[in-house]
Structure 1
Amino acid sequence: MNPPRLSSPAPIDRRHLLTGRLGGSSSVPPLYDSGTDTGTPGSIDLLNARRAGMGTFFEVKLPAATPRAAALATEALDVIDRLEGQLTVYRPDSELSRINATAHLGPVEVEPGLFDLLETALEFGEATQGAYDVAIGALSEVWGFTRGPKRIPDPFALEEARQRSGVHHVHLDRNSRTIRFDRPGVILNLGGIGKGFALDRAAETLKDRPGLHGALIHGGRSSLIALGSPGWLGTGWLIALLDPTDPSGQRSLGTLTLENRAMGASAATYQRFEANGRKYGHLIDPRTGEPVPFEADRPLGVVVTASSATEADALSTALFVMTRIEAREFLARRPDLGVLLIHAPLRPDEPPQVLVKGRAALEFLPG
C-alpha cells in the first residue's frame, strides 16, 4: 500500500532545476509532473528544484517569474541539507548521534533550534498520551526498521528495548539548554518529525521575499508546506492526493487546497515485512513496543493539515498509532487541525473510506 501523496514526480536528481506548468483549473489534476503543460487558460510556469535528503528527496516549487527564483529555491534546499547533518541517526558525527551516545553520562548542551524541536517533540508525546514518542529508537532497531534486517525480535531483546525506550527517560533543562538520559541505551530518532521541521525552517527562508507570492516545498511527497498561492486568484495550492489502496498509484483520492498551511501523511508502507502469516509495518506503537497492527479500527493512512509542517508530521504519525476511539477523542480537542482518516473499503471493488475531520471539511474535495 502506498501512502497518500502528491502526483508522482520525475526521477530524483541531486541538483536539478527545470520548469513545469501548473494550471488554474480544478477540473484536472492540480499538481503535475515536471514539464507538463495543462493547456488551461492562466497556466503559469513553475520552477522546480529537487535534491536528495533524509532518505528521500525534497522539492521546492516557485512561480518561475519570481525574482531570483533559482537562488531562492537553492537557499531553501541548503537549509534542509544542513539540518540533515544535525538530525540524522545515520551519521555518527551528527548532533543527534552525539546526544544518543553521551547524554546518559550527564547533561549535553544542545543547539537552540534542536533544543526547541526536542521540547516540542516531548510536548506532542504528552498531548497524544504517548501515541507519539521521540525516544523509541531502541524499538525501531530491535525490529530491524532502522538498519535491518527486519525481523520479529526475540522476546528478551524486545523487553530490553522496551526498558530503554520512552520520553520518561529524557530530561530537558531550558535554563542550561541541555539534555540528559536517566539510563544508558536510550535512542532518540526524529524520523516522525524531522522532515516537517526541515520544511518549516526552509519555508522561513522564503517568507517575505520581494516578488514571491507563493511557494510549495515537499519532502518525499508525504510532508509539505504551502506558502501563499502560485499566482492565480490567490486561492492557494491544489494538492492531488492519490488513493493509497490503488496498486497502480494513479487513482485520485481527492484534492486539498492549502494556503499558508502544512500537510503530513503517514501509512505503514515502507519497510513493511511479513512473518508467520502476519504483516508488520514500520510505525511502532510506543505504548506496546510493537508495530501498529493491521486491524479494522486502525486507518490504512492518515493525512493531517496544520499550521506547521512539524506538527502535521508528528500528529499524522500519532493518529496512525491511535485507535479510532482514541483519535476521535483527540480530535475533539483540536478543531484547528484538518484530518483525513483513510480506512479499508467496505468491498474490494470500492475506494477506501475517508473520514473527514476538522478543517479538512473546508480543505478537501473528494474524487
Structure 2
Amino acid sequence: MAKMGKMPHVKRNFYYIIGCMLWAVLQGTSRAQALVFEHGQMGTLFRIQIIADDSARAAAAAKAAFNLLDSLNLIMSDYRSDSELNRLSATAGSGQRVVVSPALWEVLQLSQAISRLTDGAFDVSIGALTQLWRRAVRQKELPDPQRLKAALSATGYRYIRLYPKERKVKLTRKGMKLDLGGIAKGYANAQMQQVLRQYGFRKTLIEGGGDLLAGDAPDGTNGWRVLVGSDTVSLQRAALATSGDDFRFVEIGGHRYSHVINPRTGMGVTHRTRVSVMCADAALADALSSAFSVMGEAKSSRYAPRLQRKYDFAFVWHLR
C-alpha cells in the first residue's frame, strides 16, 4: 500500500477534480502500453487503465469487468425499480426475511459493521432521505419538515436485521429504503479488479466517481501517480476514496448542502471539508470516507482509533 506522506491535516486550499485524476505517463518498452477503457454506470464514469502488451486481451478483460459492473448495478441500484436492492426495500415492515445474493450480503454485512463502529454516521438505511434530497436539488428548496420527519422515522441501521446462517435480511421499519451510494462504487472497483487479475492483468488502476483502486505499480515506478488535493501520491495495491461537496451540492437560502446526508438529522452536510481514506479494501475506503464526511474533522479524529483497531487505514483532511 502506498503512503500518503505523514498523513497530516492539510491546512491549505486546493482544487480536486473527480474523474480528472493525474493518470500515469508511462515510458516503457515498445510493446507494453497503458490502455484506458471507460464505461458509464452507477450515475458516474468508470475508468480502467491496464498496462498490457496485448491490446485485444486487455479490451476483453475490460469488457468482462464492465459486464460485471452492469450486473452489480442491477443488484445495488436504488434508481431501478427492478433492482434486488429495491425489491428488498419493498419488503420493509412486512416481517419477511429475504434471501439476498452473495454480493448484496457482503455489502450489507460490511455496511452494518461500519454503522456500529461509527454510531450510525454511515448508514445505508437513508434511502427515504436520499429521495427527499434529490427532489430538494431539483426544486432548489429544503425538504418539507413533515416528510423529513417521516423519512427519519424510517431510517436507522438498527432496523436492518441480518441472519448469517440463512443469508437473509429483514427490514423491520415500514417505509425504509436502502441506499448503497456510499459503498457500492468501492465494492464494484474491487470486484472488477478481480476480473482483471483473472485475465492476468495486475498492473491496473480503476476509478469510479472519485474512488480509486490501484493494482501493482507500473514497471520502473513505485506506484500509480494520482492527485490528492494539491499533493501527488504513489498508489499501489491500495484503494483511495475521497468524500466531499465539490461537485454534488445544492445552495438553498444562502446555505450550501452536500449530497452527503447526515443519517441522524436527515440534512445534507454543511461543513466545507473533504476527507480521503486509503486502505487495502476499496469498499471499506468508500464507506469510511462517507462516514468521516458526515462526522467532520474533530469527531472523525476521535472515532479513528476505534476504527483502526479493527481496520488498517489512513486518512487525511483537506480544509478550505
Q: Secondary structure of the equivalent of 1:102? A: coil
- Residue of structure 1 in register with 2:287 after alignment: 314
Q: Secondary structure of the equivalent of 2:220? A: coil
The superposition leaves residues 26-83 of structure 1 with CA deviations (integer Å, 9 ceiling, x where unpaired) of: xxxx526xxxxx6968796211111111111111101131572111121111111111
- Residue of structure 2 in register with 1:231 after alignment: 219
Equivalent positions of 1:199-210 (< 5 A) are: 199-207=189-197, 209-210=199-200
Note the C-alpha offset of 1:194. Answer: 0.5
Q: Is the 2:76–2:84 Cα contact (8 Å) retained in structure 1?
A: yes
Note the C-alpha offset of 1:91. Answer: 0.9
> Residues 184 and 92 from structure 1, CA distance in 2 versus in 1: closer, same or farther, beyond 3 angstroms?
same
> Residues 185 and 148 from structure 1, CA distance in 2 versus in 1: closer, same or farther, beyond 3 angstroms?
farther
Q: Tell me, yes or no, if structure 1 residue 292 matches structure 2 residue 269.
A: yes
Q: Tell me, yes or no, if structure 1 residue 31 matches structure 2 residue 6.
A: no
Q: Secondary structure of the equivalent of 1:135? A: coil
Q: Is the 2:136–2:142 Cα contact (8 Å) retained in structure 1?
A: no
Structure 1 window deviating more from structure 2 (109-118 vs 66-75): it is 66-75
- Residue of structure 1 in register with 2:315 after alignment: 339
Gaps of 5+ in 2: 1-12
Q: Secondary structure of the equivalent of 2:105? A: helix
Q: Tell me, yes or no, if structure 1 residue 82 matches structure 2 residue 58.
A: no
Give the counterpart of 1:194 among 161, 184, 195: 184
Q: Secondary structure of the equivalent of 2:158? A: helix
TM-score normalised per structure 1: 0.76
> Residues 3 and 85 from structure 1, CA distance in 2 versus in 1: closer, same or farther, beyond 3 angstroms?
farther
Q: For residues 199 and 280 of structure 2, what CA distance do their matches in structure 1 show?
A: 20
Note the C-alpha offset of 1:303. Answer: 0.9
Q: Is the 1:143–1:150 Cα contact (8 Å) retained in structure 2?
A: no
Q: Is the 2:76–2:83 Cα contact (8 Å) retained in structure 1?
A: yes
| Runs (4+) off by over 3 Å | 1-7, 38-44, 145-150
Q: Secondary structure of the equivalent of 2:286? A: helix
> Residues 39 and 302 from structure 1, CA distance in 2 versus in 1: closer, same or farther, beyond 3 angstroms?
closer
> Residues 168 and 145 from structure 1, CA distance in 2 versus in 1: closer, same or farther, beyond 3 angstroms?
farther
Q: Is the 2:137–2:250 Cα contact (8 Å) retained in structure 1?
A: no
- Residue of structure 2 in register with 1:158 after alignment: 148
| Larger RCO (CA within 8 A; separation ≥ 6) | 2
Q: Is the 2:28–2:219 Cα contact (8 Å) retained in structure 1?
A: no
The superposition leaves residues 222-251 of structure 1 with CA deviations (integer Å, 9 ceiling, x where unpaired) of: 101101112225x2211123x4xxxxxxxx
Q: Secondary structure of the equivalent of 1:228? A: coil
Gaps of 5+ in 1: 10-29, 33-37, 244-252, 345-367
Q: Tell me, yes or no, if structure 1 residue 260 matches structure 2 residue 237.
A: yes
Identical aligned pairs, as a percentage?
A: 32
Q: For residues 271 and 49 of structure 1, what CA distance do their matches in structure 2 show?
A: 25
Equivalent positions of 1:20-169 (< 5 A) are: 31=23, 45-66=33-54, 68-105=57-94, 106-144=96-134, 148-169=138-159
Q: Is the 1:164–1:184 Cα contact (8 Å) retained in structure 2?
A: yes
Amino acid at match of 2:88: I
Q: Secondary structure of the equivalent of 2:90? A: helix
Amino acid at match of 1:307: A
The superposition leaves residues 143-194 of structure 1 with CA deviations (integer Å, 9 ceiling, x where unpaired) of: 3369843531222221111101111211111112111111210010000101
Note the C-alpha offset of 1:109. Answer: 1.2
Amino acid at match of 2:231: G
> Residues 159 and 227 from structure 1, CA distance in 2 versus in 1: closer, same or farther, beyond 3 angstroms?
same
Note the C-alpha offset of 1:5. Answer: 4.3
Q: Secondary structure of the equivalent of 2:176? A: coil
